[in-house]
Amino acid sequence: MAEGIAAAVRGAVVRFGTTTVLHGVDLELRAGEVHALVGQNGAGKSTLVKALMGVNPLAEGHVEVAGSRVDLAGPEDARALGLEIVYQDQPLAPRMTVAENMFLGREPARTGVLDRAGMHRRARQVLERVGALCGPDDVVGDLTPTQRVQVSIAAALAAEPRVLVLDEPTAALGAAESASVFELIRAARAEGVAVLYISHRLHEITSLADRVTVLRDGRRTSVAPAAGLSTQDIIAAMVGRDLEALFPDVPHTPGDPLLEVRHLRSGELVRDMDLSLRSGEIVGLAGLVGSGASETLLALFGDRRSTGDVRLGGRELAASNPRAAVRRGVALVPEERRTEALFPGLSVGVNLTASSLGAHARGGVLSRRRERRTAEDLVERLGIVPRSPAQDVATLSGGNQQKVVVGRWLARGGQLYLVDEPTAGVDVAAKAEIYRHLGELAAGGAAVLVVSSDFEELIGLCDRILVVRDGVVVEEIGRGEVDEEELTARAAGADAADGDTTADPAAPAAEPAPRRAARLRQIGVGVAMLAVVAALVAGSPGFLLSSGFWDVLRQAGTPVLLAAALTVALGAGAFDLSVGAVAQLTATLSAALVVAGVPTPLVLAAGIVTGVVVGAVNGGVTVLLRVPSFVATLGMLFLLVGITLGVNGGLAVPAETYSFLLLGQGFVGPVPAIVITAGVVIAVVALVWRLTPTGLRLRATGDDERTSRLRGVRTGWATVTALVLSGALSGLAGVLLASYAGGATARDASLELLVTALAAAFLGSALTRTFLFDPATAAVGSLFVTATGAGLIANGLSDEWLGGVQGVVLLAAVLVAVARRRALGQVVIF
């Protein structure tokens, strides 16, 4: 074993289903060395890295760390051995703070309590070392792309790793920001860290790396010291085939101007785009990730809000949504084929006619004959394999899927094609065919605008290439004027870095605007709640002032606990619909037990244990069967309602034992016992939620499950823990309810209890900075809902309206929480 090898992958074979992605690749990482990994899209770089990090299981081969063979069952094992990775898309939990993100998965704790001061201090140190322009308490969702990269790297360095893997960390950064990242990497190398560096920017590699491994089609084609390598050598090893054959020459001649774009702005990334296309022309937008090239396509297609002057065929194209753009003959082949373009599970034929339903129907009734003709034509014309239009599109290869997406627009017929990453994940043969189809589109008089991170593709395919940097077209290049390396350099702005004149780059954000808006909203919701209560007090002072005060608090005992229960589940990303039913059941059970003469402490314990069992079943079903928690708990809700009915036989169960009634009706001095119980429980839950590693992991799982998993959090356990805790709290709430009411009612109130808790949970989340669910603020929300109900009744509203008021409060609270995003209200049902 050679000296100083920090980690190695030997003979790695990775298969996805029947496809082999890596064919026996070796990789050695030495301490104090920067090792570059390069290759084209789909060469297997990410797969190899994920194998090293224990994310992708190896079919053959193994991983070595510090000379000894290890078995990595998951990312947490890799992290424990000192392997750290910064992923390309920087997965960070968006609604949590920088410090929390940095320590997620290895939280410093003293006697079970998070060492928050230590986290804060350490985070500040590392952030300073990285030169980051943000603080430990900033919320990640508010950061700029540059800051996110810095935080990701800082998080990795905070672990003082043996091996640091960087997967295209500079992809979203400009030259100036990249320089600071390079300094970091050199500093880490000097400290003896083995760095694995993945990048498409070849000039970065030649200047930064000590050794270079090149992958092609899942095999290692070369490994050599960087010192002797030119970028030409690297490209030769990466590409290794004849470019001419890949780009079939389809003659097409540019005609009249078709698309004129002036001063297009959209979001932060598209700052001021000017471009024009002729019909019969293929134009490429060359930009790095974050340059705004992809976003320009989405803005033109009406999928992003934008301003500026866009004319298509001389007429204004004010596409406010994709539907409007499609009507004008604009077509989009999106970047993410699987999620943005395909309809998996549906047939090739359905996928092909999805954008031209009107042409395949009469009076809204589909014509199977017309659909079949179109589908068969397109399958034939595009050479889609297999040739049956009835095949499920998800079973096709990447190349054939992409042909289907192109074919969908051919079925409709358009004049402007916006094509994003046309050949990502497409094999070489299919690439050539797709290029030919794009050429034929242009030959047929359409204009094609292509965005690709594969610059070789742009050079081979396009009549003109527009270089995009910082959301602006900085330069135009004709066919054959540059090679891939030169284009990469221009897109990165390496040569023009000092002459950069575009608007202030990443102005150091003082007090970020989102934070101020969040404060205003938090205060606004709070003030609105106080105003409602004040108005009710003005109408009928007695209900909240003097003796009424304790009454309202007593009444709130059960709802507050249920709100906390639901919040814990929601906050961990699980929807527990059964909280009300659990409370109803334990109320009935405890009343029945009291009648049977069981002593009060045992009754209390039985209620809590029942809740725990129900929660464990909920968690088990959710995690083991991998079903959405809301369905599992919906089934449980009905089951519990049935069991409750079985226990009480449809009759109310009175419970009159003195010691039991003390729980809900007793007093300690002037303070009702139930208020003390609820207060203590809420305080404990809130502290666990905010101040312990477990709480942090539950919150992180709820915020971003994938990120948490990549950081080594066992998210399945988090879900089970949350549901068990939620069940226990609901069980306790039910016991207190029975004591408070002197028994259990016959009427099933599961849904009312659930809705009250939901309203409280969402109100509570609107009180937090980032709409996180929090037991303490949910308790505040619950107090408000209870006080409102009591106040309205004191003001003469009849009881019958009470449920309705809760429903309205719930809807209002949720609207505050979702108003900004306005996603579709879909629910995962299976």
Partner 1 sequence: MSAPTVTRPEGGPSGSPASPPSRLDGVRSYATVIGMLVVVVLIAVARPLFVDPRNLAAVAVDATVLVVLAVGLSVLMAMKGLDLSIAATADLAGYLAARALLDGHGTATAVLIGLAVGLAVGVANGVLAGYLGVPAIVATLGLNLVLTAVGLVVSDNGTPQQLFTAPIDLVKPMLVFGSDSWGPFRLLLLAAVVVVAVVWFATTRTTWGRRIELVDAGARAAELAGTPVRATFASGFVLCGLLAGAGGLMLTARTGLAVPGSAQPFLLDAFTAVYLGATASPRGRVSVVWTVLGAVFVTLLANGLVLLGLGAPWRYGLNGALILLALALGVLRRRATR
Judged by beta carbon, residue 183 or residue 336, the one nearer partner 1 is 336
Q: Which is nearer to partner 1, 97 or 765 (CB)?
A: 765
**Binding residues among 359-378 for partner 1 as defined by CB under 8 A:** 361, 364-366, 368, 371-372, 375-376
Of 345, 499, 508, 796, the one binding partner 1 by CB under 8 A: 345
Strands (E), 472-576: 472-478
Out of 267, 752, 769, 795, the residue judged to bind partner 1 by CB under 8 A: 752
Alpha-carbon distance of 245 to 562, in angstroms, equals 67
Token pair belonging to 416:
């402007």
Among the candidate windows 178-186, 307-315, 680-688, 753-761, which touches partner 1 by CB under 8 A? 753-761
- Smallest gap from Cβ 324 to partner 1, in A, equals 9
Q: Verify binding: residue 243, partner 1, rule CB under 8 A.
A: no
Closer residue to partner 1, CB minimum distance, 5 or 324:
324
Site pattern 621..640 for partner 1 (x: CB under 8 A) = x---xxx--xxx-xxxxxxx
Size of the site for partner 1 (CB under 8 A): 97
Phi and psi at 495, nearest 5°, equal -80, -30
Distance, CA of 773 to CA of 724 (rounded, Å): 17
Among the listed residues 247, 417, 575, 740, the single contact to partner 1 using CB under 8 A: 575
Out of 301, 435, 660, 740, the only residue in the binding site for partner 1 (CB under 8 A) is 301
Q: How many residues does the chain have?
A: 830
User: What type of residue is 311?
Assistant: R
641 binds partner 1 (CB under 8 A): yes
Cβ atoms of 468 and 285 closer than 8 Å: yes
Q: Does 810 bind partner 1 (CB under 8 A)?
A: yes
Q: Which stretch binds partner 1 (CB under 8 A): 53-61, 319-327, 480-488, 780-788?
A: 319-327
**Minimum distance from CB of 382 to partner 1 (Å)?**
16
Q: Does 807 bind partner 1 (CB under 8 A)?
A: yes
Nearest distance from C-beta of residue 323 to partner 1, angstroms: 5
**Which of the residues 644 through 673 are near partner 1 (CB under 8 A)?**
644-646, 650
Question: Could you give the 3-state DSSP secondary structure of residue 283?
Answer: strand
The residue (of 683 and 815) whose beta carbon lies closer to partner 1 is 815
Q: Which residues share a beta bridge with 163?
A: 83, 194
Provide DSSP, 635-648.
HHHHHHHHHHHHHH
- Give residue 523's Cα distance to chain centre: 28
Contact flags string 699-738 toward partner 1, x per CB under 8 A: ----------------------------------------
Residue 342 interacts with partner 1 (CB under 8 A): yes or no: yes
Interface region with partner 1, contact rule CB under 8 A, candidates 29-37, 87-95, 350-358, 529-537: 350-358
- Please report, as residue ranges, which positions from 161 to 200 form the binding site for partner 1 (by CB under 8 A): none
- CA atoms of 440 and 774, how far apart (whole Å): 57
| Under rule CB under 8 A, residue 355 binds partner 1 | yes
Instruction: Please tell me whether residue 332 binds partner 1 under the rule CB under 8 A.
Output: yes
Residue 316's Cβ-count burial label (10 Å; 0-12, 13-18, 19+) is: exposed
Contact 647, 594 (CB under 8 A): no
**Upper half-sphere CA count for residue 624 (Cβ side, 13 Å):** 6
Of 362, 296, 358, 308, the C-alpha closest to 332 is 296
Tokens of 332: 């989009």
Q: Where are the beta strands (DSSP E) in 395-439?
A: 416-420
From the list 186, 262, 305, 323, which residue makes contact with partner 1 (rule: CB under 8 A)?
323
Q: How far apart are CA 615 and CA 585, in angstroms?
A: 13
The count of C-alpha atoms lying within 13 angstroms of the C-alpha of 520, restricted to the half-sphere facing its C-beta, is: 5
Using DSSP's 3-state secondary structure scheme, residue 362 falls into strand
Of positions 88, 147, 150, 391, contacts partner 1 by CB under 8 A: 391
Q: Which of 39, 292, 389, 422 is close enough to bind partner 1 by CB under 8 A? A: 389
Contacts of 228 (CB under 8 A, 6+ apart): none
Alpha helices per DSSP H over 692-714: 693-703, 705-710
Interacting positions 399-458 with partner 1 (CB under 8 A): 408
**Cβ atoms within 10 Å, residue 524:** 12
Q: Please answer whether residues 102 and 696 qualify as being in contact, where contact means their C-beta atoms are separated by less than 8 angstroms.
A: no
DSSP labels for 30-81?
ETT-EEEEE--TTSSHHHHHHHHTTSSPPSEEEEEETTEEE---SHHHHHHT
- Which of 226/357 has CB closer to partner 1? 357
**Segment near partner 1 (CB under 8 A), from 48-56, 276-284, 324-332, 445-453?**
324-332
When asked if residue 388 is in the footprint of partner 1 (CB under 8 A), the reply is yes
Smallest distance from partner 1 to CB 625, Å:
5
Token pair belonging to 306: 């934008």
* Interface positions, 45-84, toward partner 1 (CB under 8 A): none
Is 18 an interacting residue with respect to partner 1 (CB under 8 A)? no
Three-state secondary structure along 126-151?
HHHHHCCCCCCCCEHHHCCHHHHHHH
Choose one: 99-107, 144-152, 552-560, 801-809; the region binding partner 1 (CB under 8 A): 801-809
Binding residue for partner 1 (CB under 8 A) from 444, 524, 542, 642? 642
Least distance to partner 1, CB of residue 595, Å: 19
Q: Is 616 in the site for partner 1 (CB under 8 A)?
A: no
Among 758, 767, 780, 790, binds partner 1 (CB under 8 A): 758
- Out of 72, 614, 744, 754, the only residue in the binding site for partner 1 (CB under 8 A) is 754
Q: Where do the DSSP E strands lie in 566-699?
A: 653-654, 667-668, 671-672
* CA–CA separation, 541 and 534 (whole Å): 9
The correct pick among 221, 222, 347, 522 for binding partner 1 (CB under 8 A) is 347
Q: How far is the CB of 645 from partner 1 (least distance, A)?
A: 4
Of the pair 530, 811, the CB lying nearest partner 1 is at 811
- Minimum CB separation of residue 654 from partner 1 in Å reads 20
Residue 350 interacts with partner 1 (CB under 8 A)? yes
CB-CB neighbours of 811 under 10 Å: 12
DSSP state of 347: B
